[in-house]
Amino acid sequence: MEKVFGRTSGLKKSELKKLTNLYRRRLPKDRVTTPEVSRTLAQLSWELRRPVSLLLDREGRVVRVAVGDAKELPIPERPYVETRLSGYRVLHTHLSGGGFSRQDLSVLFLNRLDAMAALEVQEGEPGLLHLALLSPPRAREEDWQVLPPRPHFAWQEFDLLGAVLALEEELSRHGRLLEVRDGQGERVLLVGVDLGEGWEAEAGLEEMAELVRTAGGVVAGRSLVFRKALDPRTLVGLGKLEELKSLAYHQDASTLVFGLDLTPAQAREIEALTGLKVLDRTQLILDIFALHARTPEAQAQVELAQLRYLLPRLVGKGKELSRLGGGIGTRGPGETKLEVDRRRLLERIHHLTERLEAYALRRQEARRQRRRQGVPVVAVVGYTNAGKTTLMRALAKAGEEGEDKLFATLRPLTRKGFLPGLGEVVYTDTVGFIRHMPEALLTAFRATLEEVKEAQVLIHVLDASREGALERHRVVEEVLEGLGVEAPRVLALNKIDRAAPYDVYYLQDRLGGVAVSALKGTGLEELRLRVKEALLAQGVQPQAWAL
Ligand SMILES: Nc1nc2c(ncn2[C@@H]2O[C@H](COP(=O)(O)OP(=O)(O)OP(=O)(O)O)[C@@H](O)[C@H]2O)c(=O)[nH]1
Ligand SMILES: [Mg+2]
């Protein structure tokens, strides 16, 4: 027997039977209702003294029956690609008469229903029928259009299917237009929360936009929300979520990315309330790391961090798991998709942990050998996109090209270089830092950062050409401190070829450091000199033949 949803408690067996019989009904696929169905629904609601709701698919088949208002119908999930409507419509009764409640309309909108119909019932007889459809995208007024009510039989001539298909066509045309304007990629709405940080919140959102772009997404809209305190359940509150849902509809976006971290429960709640895919900052960064991890070790590290983050977010059974959908946040390293079967996932975590231990041992051995040979190590650190890789390449005259993407480097590269008057050194490149470095990543990148701990001297690369340099400098120093790194730093103020001279003076005045352009090769002599001095001060012995 098919299940009857909603407020069924206290119903008699015979009444339940009548409700179950509704599953055998079928409407013509292009009609809102038929006189027979209207009458049956009206009578049944009257008898039960409760509203009755039907969920119908596009073929006119009854998919779900519920006692109660439209919100009692659990509407099946759809995939996240949302240029089109859900293919479901609701037909339900209003016992106290009157048109749509706010809740009816929000069920329509939230689930992208084809249509929502409400049938007034008077003395057991069907009366007026109300019909609402979603508005065409970018309509100025409401997100839904409520058609003038007519007596239920008067809807006979109305071609519902035609109206739905026309709306869908308009939605996908709008989607194509936006794609031409903004380029291809998963369309994302960015949500930042300003808890009183002022410009920092603004800068944080800007950085999130950069991260979305690096992850291959398109920022379809952004919203900075001012809050004194966060709502523990929904973070930004119900009203704001509705606004975002509406913005997503008009901007053809399928994903909400939050500029801070969500608890698993918050993420689920917001997904349920908006019907959108929800990602937080850590997931976004992990996703980028996954795209950029190239060596087997880096890949294992990233995947492990992703799976650990994912685990508590996968509650329960198959249905929840499938919510993961595709796209940003679901990609593992090396073009794989993340494992979402809970038991297999645990196995995978175990396997990766073991593999990483083996890598760590090998790396330790390599370091030991270097130490035996007495080659000093210089680690290049700095905020993501500061120019670390480019600088190391310039200093060592080998290695990989820099890339104008965040987190281009996810493997601890090492290159040999030569310092006049000192001899051979080994430069190691590192993964970029970022403010509020996700905890999950700090542990995952232990290996890379261990290399930093082994270094005799660090070159801290700071992009002097972009705003907020002082702040980025501080973030990097804080992370280093947190790792217990004590080696002396040589600061390189990079990208002076495109920085305003005044900014460079200002930074030099505040922080000291050598002004360089890794790209053009300016200032490298002086930088080498300072590195050499720092190494000598650390007690490194010059190699005899280098003098
Ligand atoms: N104009 C200018 N651009 C530079 C300079 N140094 C690096 N860049 C550019 O900055 C971008 C980032 O350089 P990378 O060397 O990849 O930076 P990174 O710090 O290694 O970045 P991640 O590894 O992603 O954290 C690239 O587009 C470089 O070409 C410079 O001195 N001047
Ligand atoms: Mg790099």
Grouping H, G, I as helix, E, B as strand and the rest as coil, residue 308 is: helix
Alpha-carbon gap, residue 32 to 132, rounded angstroms: 11
Nearest protein Cα to ligand 1, atom 2: 495
According to DSSP, residue 101 is labeled -
Instruction: State the pLDDT at residue 82.
Output: 47
Residue reference for tokens 């890379």: 448
Structure confidence by residue, pLDDT tens digits, 153-196 = 999 889 999 999 999 888 888 888 888 888 888 899 999 999 88
- Residue 246 CB coordination number (10 Å): 14
CA of 280 to the centre of ligand 1 (A): 26
- Phi, psi torsion values for 12, nearest 5 degrees: -80, 160
Q: Give the strand order in the sheet containing 457-463.
A: 414-419, 423-429, 377-382, 457-463, 489-494, 514-515
Structure confidence by residue, pLDDT tens digits, 519-537 = 999 999 999 999 999 999 9
- Residue 206 CB coordination number (10 Å): 15
The closest alpha carbon to 523, from 474, 473, 462, 477, belongs to 462
pTM score, whole prediction? 0.74
Domain boundaries, the chain: 4-170, 183-279, 293-351, 374-546
Write the single-letter amino acid at 139.
A
Nearest protein Cα to ligand 1, atom 11: 404
Instruction: State the pLDDT at residue 448.
Output: 61
Instruction: State the pLDDT at residue 366.
Output: 76
Alpha-carbon gap, residue 491 to 537, rounded angstroms: 16
To test ligand 1's pocket by mutation, which of 211, 380, 381, 385 has the most ligand atoms within 8 angstroms of CB? Answer: 385
Instruction: State the pLDDT at residue 42.
Output: 96
Alpha-carbon gap, residue 325 to 77, rounded angstroms: 11
The dihedral of CA 215, 330, 308, 347: what is its sign? negative
Query: Ligand 1: does its nearest atom lie under 6 Å from the Cβ of 385?
Result: yes
Q: What is the mean pLDDT of the chain?
A: 86
Minimum-distance ligand 1 atom for the alpha carbon of 516: 31
Structure confidence by residue, pLDDT tens digits, 309-349 = 888 887 643 444 445 567 888 788 776 777 777 788 889 99
Structure confidence by residue, pLDDT tens digits, 16-25 = 999 999 999 9
Question: What band does 257 get if pLDDT is binned at 50, 70 and 90?
Answer: very high
Alpha-carbon gap, residue 368 to 503, rounded angstroms: 42
- Phi, psi torsion values for 459, nearest 5 degrees: -100, 115
ipTM score above 0.85: yes
Alpha-carbon gap, residue 349 to 429, rounded angstroms: 27
- Return the minimum-mean-pLDDT range out of 80-84, 150-154, 324-328: 80-84
Alpha-carbon gap, residue 138 to 153, rounded angstroms: 33
- Give me the mean pLDDT over the 36-51 stretch: 95
Instruction: State the pLDDT at residue 315.
Output: 61
Query: Ligand 1: does its nearest atom lie under 6 Å from the Cβ of 410?
Result: no
Structure confidence by residue, pLDDT tens digits, 85-112 = 888 999 999 998 889 998 899 889 888 8
The span from the first CA to the last CA of the chain, in angstroms, equals 91
Structure confidence by residue, pLDDT tens digits, 397-429 = 744 445 555 555 555 577 888 888 888 888 888
Name the residue with higher pLDDT: 156 or 449: 156
CA of 329 to the centre of ligand 2 (A): 22
Instruction: State the pLDDT at residue 276.
Output: 87
CATH superfamily of 374-546: P-loop containing nucleotide triphosphate hydrolases (3.40.50.300)
To test ligand 1's pocket by mutation, which of 390, 493, 522 has the most ligand atoms within 8 angstroms of CB? Answer: 390
CA of 432 to the centre of ligand 2 (A): 7
Does this chain's domain 183-279 share its CATH topology with 374-546? Answer: yes
Structure confidence by residue, pLDDT tens digits, 488-505 = 999 999 999 999 999 999
Architecture of domain 183-279: 3-Layer(aba) Sandwich (3.40)
Contact 89, 113 (CB under 8 A): yes
Residue 110 tokens, joined: 């939230």
